[in-house]
């Protein structure tokens, strides 16, 4: 079974609800174009190894056998997206390399590699590496651009970021969300690279949270499934999670989404036979806290709770007896024009009832991951099952 389960492809028309970012803002959302950094300070946009960030530059240095890199912790859509890399200085000796790669969860990749004065497109699928196009790199071409449209990988170089030399496009085998890797590798030489910016003029936002739509009819790569013993996660016309595991078991979205004026809703079919043992939660994970609605059983019967949780907050503002027919649909929302997180449920009648709300820092709302997780607080060797369906395909 493929453990990468996903939502339906691309946000399509739902992206049109994303907040515009100024004149000429693209009508796409959530692509690699939304990754923008001018390296004024360290941010959560990257995980890094031996990189120096700050003062308007990122510096990657590597000696023989060493590497220095940054990689995005969250995936973005490659198809329909574009990424511009503005270099300030590149010194590569021997076989040292500079790479700009787009990598899927299956470790397949496509991207640009500079080595020994040659800039190449490099594709790696299932360990089979090819280089279908390359050029002798003019050292004044310090701007690189990569984009993909309908499976066609296009790349270009520029001396000023304004006038571009379009290079030979290639067919891309990648359609899944990707993380972005920028790496300098010394190999048998020395690498010193200074990067001025990534997408310095980007104006794209994340997709609205409501655009992640999944009927769980099949497995598609926009989720990461937890890889744990006694934890099975699969889609078969609904999402089934079977767990005898105290660690969270389920799905975590590969992408982050914009919750401003948006929502996440889910149909809850069965949680441990209706007694909420094991517990099940739907959460939106922001940078510094998570908004969560959870069904659990602490010994006093099944309870539905909702709240805000993180290192600096632990606030449950909803706690009601859980009744499956009254709490068939769950929703976490940010009402337009507010900074509130609202928790609501609807019964089999499809009528929503707000259970509670709390304000949060409005800046948090721009970036949230979606988690669907099961926890068995008392593993006993018996696998319990949770069934849910229709993410963001709930009553209006």
CA distances for 110 relative to 6, 33, 104, 122, 146, angstroms: 21, 16, 9, 6, 10
Residue 279 lies in a domain: yes
How many alpha carbons lie under 13 Å from residue 215 in its C-beta half-sphere?
3
Residue 23 lies in a domain: no
**pLDDT recorded at residue 298:** 86
Same domain? 289 vs 342: yes
Residue 16 lies in a domain: no
Tally of structural domains, the chain: 2
Domain boundary among 198, 231, 254: 198
Residue 159 lies in a domain: yes
**pLDDT recorded at residue 351:** 98
The full 3-state SS of 171-229, as one line of letters, equals ECCCCCCEEEEEEEECCCCCEEEEEEEECCCCCCCCCEHHHCCECCCCCCCCEEECCCC
Same domain? 165 vs 290: no
**pLDDT recorded at residue 380:** 86
Say how many residues make up the chain: 396
Residue 204 lies in a domain: no
Same domain? 142 vs 214: no
**pLDDT recorded at residue 225:** 94
Asked if residue 13 lies in contact with residue 209, where contact means CB atoms within 8 angstroms, the answer is no
Same domain? 230 vs 373: yes
Q: How far apart are CA 386 and CA 237, in angstroms?
A: 14
Same domain? 145 vs 268: no
Q: How far apart are CA 146 and CA 292, in angstroms?
A: 37
Residue 318 lies in a domain: yes
What is the residue range of 142's domain? 31-198
Same domain? 169 vs 56: yes
Domain boundary among 144, 176, 198: 198
Same domain? 349 vs 264: yes
**pLDDT recorded at residue 64:** 98
**pLDDT recorded at residue 24:** 35
Show the tokens assigned to 286. 């922001």
Same domain? 110 vs 239: no
Same domain? 260 vs 115: no
**pLDDT recorded at residue 317:** 98
**pLDDT recorded at residue 265:** 98
**pLDDT recorded at residue 219:** 83
Q: Other C-beta atoms within 10 Å of 164: how many?
A: 17
Same domain? 175 vs 242: no
CATH of the domain at 365: 2.60.120.200
Q: Tokens 């991951």, residue?
A: 369
Same domain? 256 vs 188: no
Q: What angle do CA 131, 137, 138 make, to 5 degrees?
A: 170
Domain boundary among 198, 218, 234: 198
Same domain? 184 vs 264: no
Residue 295 lies in a domain: yes
Residue 122 lies in a domain: yes
Stretches where the chain sits below pLDDT 50 are 1-26
**pLDDT recorded at residue 382:** 86
């Amino acid at each position: 079974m493929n453990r990468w389960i996903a939502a339906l492809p691309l946000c399509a028309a739902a992206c049109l609800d994303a907040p515009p970012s100024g004149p000429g803002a693209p009508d796409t959302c959530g692509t690699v174009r939304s990754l923008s950094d001018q390296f004024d300070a360290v941010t959560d946009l990257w995980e890094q190894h031996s990189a120096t960030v700050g003062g308007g530059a990122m510096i990657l240095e590597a000696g023989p056998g060493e590497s220095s890199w940054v990689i995005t912790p969250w995936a973005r859509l490659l198809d329909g997206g574009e990424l511009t890399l503005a270099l300030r200085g590149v010194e590569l000796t021997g076989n040292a390399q500079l790479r700009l790669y787009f990598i899927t969860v299956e470790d397949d990749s496509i991207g640009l590699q500079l080595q020994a004065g040659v800039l190449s497109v490099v594709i790696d699928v299932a360990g089979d590496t090819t280089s279908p196009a390359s050029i002798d790199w003019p050292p004044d071409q310090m701007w690189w651009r990569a984009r993909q449209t309908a499976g066609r990988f296009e790349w270009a170089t520029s001396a000023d970021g304004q006038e571009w030399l379009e290079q030979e496009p290639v067919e891309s085998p990648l359609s899944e969300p990707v993380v972005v890797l920028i790496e300098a590798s010394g190999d048998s030489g020395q690498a010193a690279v200074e990067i001025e910016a990534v997408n310095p003029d980007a104006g794209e936002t994340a997709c609205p949270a409501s655009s992640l739509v999944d009927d769980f009819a099949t497995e598609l790569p926009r989720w990461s499934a937890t890889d744990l013993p006694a934890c099975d996660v699969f889609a078969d016309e609904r999402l089934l999670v079977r767990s005898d595991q105290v660690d969270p078991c389920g799905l975590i979205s590969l992408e982050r989404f914009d919750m401003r004026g948006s929502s996440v809703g889910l149909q809850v079919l069965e949680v441990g036979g209706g007694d909420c043992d094991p517990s099940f939660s739907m959460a939106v994970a922001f940078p510094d806290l998570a908004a969560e609605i959870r069904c659990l059983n602490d010994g006093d019967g099944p309870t539905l709770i909702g709240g805000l949780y993180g290192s600096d907050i632990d606030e449950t503002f909803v706690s009601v007896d859980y009744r499956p027919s009254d709490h068939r649909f769950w929703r976490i929302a940010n009402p337009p024009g507010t900074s509130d997180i609202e928790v609501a449920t609807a019964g089999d009648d499809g009528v929503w009832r707000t259970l509670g709300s709390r304000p949060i820092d409005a800046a948090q709302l721009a970036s949230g991951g979606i988690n669907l997780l099961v926890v068995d607080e008392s593993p006993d060797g018996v696998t319990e099952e949770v069934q849910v369906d229709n993410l963001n395909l709930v009553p209006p």
